[in-house]
Structure formats: C-alpha cells, structure tokens
Structure 1
Amino acid sequence: MLIYRGVGLLTLLTPIAALLLILILFPDPAVGRGNTSFSQVLLAFGLGSAINVVLGFVLNRKPRTPGQHASHHFFFLPMQWPAMAVVAVCVVVALLR
C-alpha cells in the first residue's frame, strides 16, 4: 500500500523543485553561495504547493461515489488538501516573521 496514488507524489516533489529553481535563478547574496534564506524557502514552498493545489483540484474534479478514493492522493488525502495546508503554514509563518 503506497502513501500516494497517481501524481500525488508531486505534493512532495513540486515544492522541492521550486526551492531548487529559486536557489539557482535568484540566489540571495546575503547568505552566500549554495545557501538560501528562510524567506526564499517560504516563497518556494508556498508557490510549489499553490501549484499543487490547482493541479489537485483539476485532476480530482470528476465526481466519486461514496467510499471511493481520489485518483491522485498523498497520505490517503486528495493531493490538494495537504498542499493547501503547506500554503497556509507558509503564509502564517511569513506573516508572523
């Protein structure tokens, strides 16, 4: 039994890919080469997870019968909900900083 189904693994991989892209394309000169600031991490994880929220709603939009699992899930939840939780956490942490 896998913890993901369909493209649900993107819930984990897209924020990591966004972080790597931000690290490569927009390096922060204040933290040195190969490092990233906390604000860049929040931005990358927030953007990557926001992409997953939209992707999850699009991919899981067909109606399901009661008891039927979503076609694309991560940790047995439709992939948009864990991604939405990550976006919410990033927004809250950014506002509290």
Structure 2
Amino acid sequence: MTQKSAYIEKMKSQLDDLNTNMNALQAKATEAKEDARDMYKAEMAKLQEQSNLAVAKFGEMKTASEESWDAMVAEMDKVRDAFVHSFHYFKSQV
C-alpha cells in the first residue's frame, strides 16, 4: 500500500468515526430540554457544515495529483482538526 493510499484510508476511517459519533450526539441532543435544544440545533448545524467541508476536501484529496498531494494533505489535516475540535466542544456541551 502506498503512503497516499494509507493516508486516504486513515482519513476515511477518521471521518466515518466522527460522523457516526456526531449522529449519536445529535440523537442525544434531541432528548434535551426545549431551551437547550435550540442551542444544540445551532451547534449541530455548525458541526454538519464542518462535516460537509471535510467530506468535500476528502474528495478533492483523493483525486489530487502527485504534485499537489503534500498541499492537499496539509489542507485536509487542518479541516479534520477543525472538525475534531468542534466535535469535542459540542460533546462537552451535551
């Protein structure tokens, strides 16, 4: 397996895990009291936006040329890190 293939598999696994955990948090948030529910909905919308951005960047990365690969990895790492940070923040609020 090439370094590029290994990175793609690792990133896919991480994004899948984050999205699975995000869905579990969303279910938990819907059980919250009504006053907290609005805050959770707003935070979930932000989290979903970051998930969509990560998935889009992942798609770009998979088709990146060898010349742009290093730059795409750096961008993907930043997007993933922002998604992870937002996820952990939201999780701490639930």
TM range (shorter): 0.3 to 0.5
TM-score (norm 1): 0.43
